[in-house]
Structure 1
């Protein structure tokens, strides 16, 4: 992992390549893990009818994964969801649990669909049919319905468009829709995997949280035969290469993330195959200092401000982050993560547990965690936020 500099003390952390992933232990056999409530239980006729709140709580337990403590970093992992393209979505205990929940929620879903307009109901069912092989994605779609995130806006319309539009080379429709639905339902699952793309991935997560319909629109354009789309900021994104079915990343990430890397590197060229940017005769991973600003401003259509966190003034930068959180904004922040080098995180809040103050972040390694505030501030390198 390298830190790329445009000028001394004005560095933007390059995305850090994560270590080889540690397999997640099954919830049923893990020791010391908080086991989520068992989904899919058959209700006794003597028990009250399942409510929409019950259905959402059970689905969220399955989609988000169990909290745990990361032994390597000491951070509290609030949620560590499976990747949107995890094979357990289609086979095994996770798929079985999702199917059980779907069966239990059938009457609730029928009632919720009856409240949609005829057009919206048709759009929902078209998307649902594409998810027939992926019960976890199907449950994610149902959860979005129960949470009221589909009616009355562009999200459902844009998801439905994916079911009928022409697609570019290497784009599998069912796989793409399953990935996108789960990423919209659980943005924490978006994972940079083994690529040095933490800045682009963190900015993507921020967009999904703020404007999921726009995220789907970007994916729709890149998945088309033209393989291009214009951002809200007016920049043209283009697909870099052909999607690889053997990649650990989701199909949606393969389409969008390299395009954002190309955007964030400005005049320099990003090579997806080698995961490097060519700066003249030299190649290096990650983005330059202005990268996060360019990416976030372009895909959100908003103005962004970037600020370094130099040693004597890290407290000032931390105070600026807190001020943004108090306004209800999330903040892109680069830190020297556990001494591994520069790594971009999305800061979403502050929390206090047992007298210790924590910074709540979404890590683009596909998890949400709590980092002690003192540690976070000491490791802080830079931040970018809405102006």
Structure 2
């Protein structure tokens, strides 16, 4: 029965997508008429826009009601009756929180930094004069953050500081930033996040989708990650992404959020907005999206995740939903398993699961699968930790997954 409820939720989400597609078509046609006919078509466009608002508003309300009813029914029926097991994973690693209390981590980072000085000097001599200058610029900018400085050293010693990455980091170290942004703190955050992307966390926000995309980008293209952070932090707050769109800093980017890093405060709301498409608007303060202020739809759908990743990376992505991929079917389970077993550095797979618990039996949540070994799935949870779970058990909680094509 729990699976039926998840089908109902997914069906409702699909209905909402169809509503949005119809609304986008209506608005696009109205826009074409304005361009062709000039002022005379403005009245027609206004009517179409009004109808679009009514259509999306109705769809948003219907979806909200459906999800609410589904959750209530799950709670009423009870876990035993639903046979819905809580999502119980093994936490394999919790990285240093880039924005947390330093504590003993600061002492350990200091020891590592000092012991690595001779190796750092030797590694720097192998770089070009320009790269050496860029390294010094970044190191000076984060000199007051021991953990960030040690992370920079670690990447150098591991050969992970390419010319473009160093250039982009140095660009951030010397750029002008918007009022309210601490450039050096932001730089220190970004350095730690590209050094160890698993530390990236959504904190108190419902941005697991945007955070999962953020982790993927930090793992696959750290130079691009840093470039986007710098662009969003600029006085203009705008930066071009791979598909040619312009990513913009949200006006409420720094709203209370439970302690995200500066770079995460900039990227996550912008990614949530980009995934929305043309009609919806993401409100970082309310942590939800709406159309013209109507509706309260949290999270990110699987097709939106695929579109966002294509926009950011230039790669092609597919999306598969549980409603069309029943794990009870051996052939479909093998398809799912084959996609996940291909997960590896540079080819991670975002997956949406029902992260059910005793308190919340219907709880869609995005994760980033990084590999499969010995029948167990390893993944990064955007709560800032790494976990693993047996493949068979993991598949029971599946809602959707988004592999590369």
Q: Give TM-score, length-normalised by structure 1.
A: 0.77
Aligned residue among 119, 125, 132 for 1:108: 119
Aligned to 1:76: 90
Tell me if the contact between 2:288 and 2:296 (Cα under 8 Å) persists in the aligned partners: yes
Tell me if the contact between 1:345 and 1:362 (Cα under 8 Å) persists in the aligned partners: yes
Aligned to 1:372: 390
2:306 matched to 1:293? yes
Cα 1:219–1:149 change in 2 (3 A) is: same
2:245 matched to 1:238? no
* Cα separation, 2, equivalents of 1:300 and 1:117: 28
Aligned residue among 342, 345, 349 for 2:371: 349
Cα 1:283–1:129 change in 2 (3 A) is: same
Matched residue of 2:14: which SS? coil
Aligned residue among 107, 110, 130 for 2:141: 130
Tell me if the contact between 2:201 and 2:260 (Cα under 8 Å) persists in the aligned partners: yes
* Cα separation, 2, equivalents of 1:7 and 1:134: 46
* Cα separation, 1, equivalents of 2:17 and 2:178: 40
Tell me if the contact between 1:349 and 1:361 (Cα under 8 Å) persists in the aligned partners: yes
Deviation at 1:340, TM superposition (A): 4.8
Aligned to 2:286: 274
* Cα separation, 2, equivalents of 1:326 and 1:118: 34
Cα 1:316–1:382 change in 2 (3 A) is: farther
Q: Which ranges of structure 1 fall in alignment gaps of 5 or more residues?
A: 15-71
2:394 matched to 1:381? no
Aligned residue among 136, 139, 159 for 1:148: 159
Structure 1 vs Structure 2 CA RMSD: 2.4
* Cα separation, 1, equivalents of 2:364 and 2:285: 22
Aligned residue among 2, 6, 20 for 2:13: 6
The structure with more radius of gyration: 2
Matched residue of 1:166: which SS? coil
* Cα separation, 2, equivalents of 1:245 and 1:78: 31
Kindly report which structure 2 residues correspond to 1:1-387, keeping only aligned pairs within 5 A, or say none: 5-7=12-14, 74-88=88-102, 92-151=103-162, 153-244=163-254, 247=257, 248-266=259-277, 267-279=279-291, 281-310=294-323, 311=326, 312-313=328-329, 315-322=333-340, 324-325=342-343, 329-338=347-356, 339-352=361-374, 357-387=375-405
Q: Which ranges of structure 2 fall in alignment gaps of 5 or more residues?
A: 1-5, 19-63, 65-85
Higher relative contact order (CA 8 A, sep 6+): 1
* Cα separation, 1, equivalents of 2:394 and 2:15: 22
Bigger drift between 290-299 and 72-81 goes to 72-81
Deviation at 1:146, TM superposition (A): 0.3
Aligned to 2:3: none
Q: Give TM-score, length-normalised by structure 2.
A: 0.74
